[in-house]
A = this chain, B = another copy of it.
Amino acid sequence: MKNSTATSNRLFARYKSFIATQSRKSTTQRDLIVTSFFKTGGHISAEELHGLIKKTKKNIGLATVYRTLKLLTEGGLAKEMRFNDGITRYEVEGPECAHHDHMVCLECGKVEEFENEMIEKLQKEVATKCGFSISDHKLELYGICKECG
């Protein structure tokens, strides 16, 4: 997910249209949380996002951050990602975002994205062979990134 202003704006517009169709409301807090989230580009936990936001505006409840991220998830604009540390992180998601997998650096915690069509194809083959119909998948590589190596 690129962290460009243009992309953020497009996503923000989608968020606005999503809450409109659901007769839900746009509020100062919600808009701020959503904007901040899109600006970070994702791969962030609720608590981290909450921390970022509190720097500029006090009095935003952690619960509201959770509720907003859940709202975005329902609207297909965010996606929960869980690695093995018990913390839920959220990534920016949208129709213009291609599917991708993750490389997680065990040293600095950075999450890089990648995509590989061949792997996806092989996954489908394996599943088909077992009579299993795939609706989703998750592929994560853990190791040391270029900077930390």
Copies in the complex: 2
Q: What distance in Å separates the Cβ of A73 from its nearest Cβ neighbour in chain B?
A: 12
Using C-beta atoms within 8 Å of the partner chain, give the interface range for chain A. 20 to 34
A146 interface contact, C-beta 8 A: yes
CB–CB A143/B134 < 8 A: yes
Q: Is the interface of A mostly helix, strand, loop or mixed?
A: strand
Which chain B residues lie closer than 8 Å to A82 at the CB level?
82, 84
A141's partner among B127, B142, B145, B146 (CB-CB below 8 A) is B127
CB–CB A132/B136 < 8 A: no
> Which of A82, A137, A144, A149 has the most CB atoms of chain B within a 10 A radius of its CB?
A137
CB–CB A122/B123 < 8 A: no
CB-nearest residue of chain B relative to A138? B140
Q: What distance in Å separates the Cβ of A44 from its nearest Cβ neighbour in chain B?
A: 18
A32 interface contact, C-beta 8 A: no
CB–CB A127/B142 < 8 A: no
